[in-house]
Structure 1
């Protein structure tokens, strides 16, 4: 039942973007072929910023203030260990069998010697971490980014990575938990842990960026492109594979 609700939500989110995300209110000189839904995206970006300032950021600051650093790091390590399971699946789907084996090794070592992942023994042993996701897997098999898309609450994405996010949720070990209260407890704790880890980065971004929306969009797309190509992205830009820039003209 969770998967049905997930895909219904994904469909509604994408439908909302397609219906409300026209570019008619964006000056032509500010339009970007990677971002044809900029009107919607900027509105959602502002909503997410307000939501973060009102709820997520204060909670993350409080969490960081009351949680001892060893415990905080242990929780981060635990969720990173869970992410290695998803990474192993995606590396296998990309036929990167050596990397998939490394991910499995990390999970085995950290889940046993590392006490369920709270201690990152694997990194101390020099076992690399890859953290592949389903969006990267789709990119590996030739799927272009598609239009840039800001997801409610979750933030920057693309059509490809939004679909990939749904795939990652399905293979997440927590998704199989039958007790909803335990599942959502892990989801909330992981979100708070991630946000707490971004507090310093968000402070630097606020000080450096003239247009936070453009800064986040460009940084996200560049990082994702780099990840999909394992750090060897080709020189040509392929963000507009599914969108014709001429179609942006009113």
Structure 2
């Protein structure tokens, strides 16, 4: 009797241990499946939000980033009066732009993004920040010339002050005492911004190889500035090209993960990034015109 009772309890104990082991073994797999399903559901929800023009929050290792997917109809990009006439975009070269966009995405996915991931792994964020500061400081003379050409003398004075302070106290621009000690904000100005100041239109939307979304005005700005960039005055080619390419790569490394996430969630990535670019241009031009009207 006792022997049978002991045998029953032993068998029951072994059954419970076996069931527990199976449950423990399956739990990680079950959790992984649930997480995968949840991620797909979240991605589908984000796609629907993008389609309907709603903001989307994208999770990256650098934190959550909120973006707006569609062009905001503030005012037409070339319409100073803001009457809303004209198309929301000007993309007569769409076939060509899509081909360049596909080439760029292939380059990002298989070359630049893996390189950026390794760069972020090797170089700490604090060091990357200082590298970015140094390149921004090298550009200050170019900002100065563009602000002078636009008649923006206050901003040009800020460029001169920042370059003098950060090149000396800031150890060749690695640090930004002009901002932190003297409260002199950065006043970046490109040739494209100066042309915009004189009401030169942006022209057709244009996707630039590697550089990404742009327009004919920004392309002209980049080409012209490449001949007078301070780095070209300090370093002979081809070394100057390598340095400036590294500057662009350093900027891209901080955006690579965000780009990848947005590309995956957009129904039509080409239209999404085109709209993001045009929206930013419209917003900048709208507030520029509004500021001019307020000053008048």
TM-score (norm 1): 0.75
Q: CA deviation at 1:204?
A: 4.3
Q: Which residue of 1 aligns with 2:185?
A: 128
Structure 1 residue matching 2:175: 3-state secondary structure: coil
Of residues 278, 282, 291, the one that matches 1:221 is 278
**What is the RMSD computed on CA atoms of the aligned residues?**
2.0
Q: Which residue of 2 aligns with 1:60?
A: 116
Q: CA deviation at 1:218?
A: 1.6
Q: Which residue of 1 aligns with 2:222?
A: 165
Indicate how the Cα distance of structure 1 residues 50 and 207 shifts in structure 2: closer, same or farther if over 3 A, else same: closer
Structure 1: 5+ residue stretches without partners: 1-30, 235-250
- Aligned pair 1:38/2:132, yes or no? no
Which whole-Å CA distance do the structure 2 matches of 1:33 and 1:179 have between them? Answer: 40
Residues 103-182 of structure 1 correspond to what in structure 2 (within 5 A)?
103-125=159-181, 126-182=183-239
Q: CA deviation at 1:85?
A: 2.2
Residues 11-30 of structure 1 correspond to what in structure 2 (within 5 A)?
none
Structure 1 residue matching 2:288: 3-state secondary structure: coil
Contact 1:79 1:190 in 2 (8 A): yes
Q: CA deviation at 1:178?
A: 4.8
Q: CA deviation at 1:138?
A: 1.0
Contact 1:140 1:228 in 2 (8 A): no
Q: CA deviation at 1:168?
A: 1.9
Return 178-187 or 100-109, whichever deviates more: 178-187
Q: CA deviation at 1:212?
A: 1.6
Which whole-Å CA distance do the structure 2 matches of 1:84 and 1:211 have between them? Answer: 37
Q: Which residue of 2 aligns with 1:246?
A: none
Which whole-Å CA distance do the structure 2 matches of 1:121 and 1:56 have between them? Answer: 32
**Higher radius of gyration, 1 or 2:** 2
Which whole-Å CA distance do the structure 1 matches of 2:224 and 2:151 have between them? Answer: 17
TM-score (norm 2): 0.64
Structure 2 residue matching 1:174: 3-state secondary structure: helix
How many residue pairs were aligned? 203
Q: CA deviation at 1:127?
A: 1.0
- Aligned pair 1:75/2:131, yes or no? yes
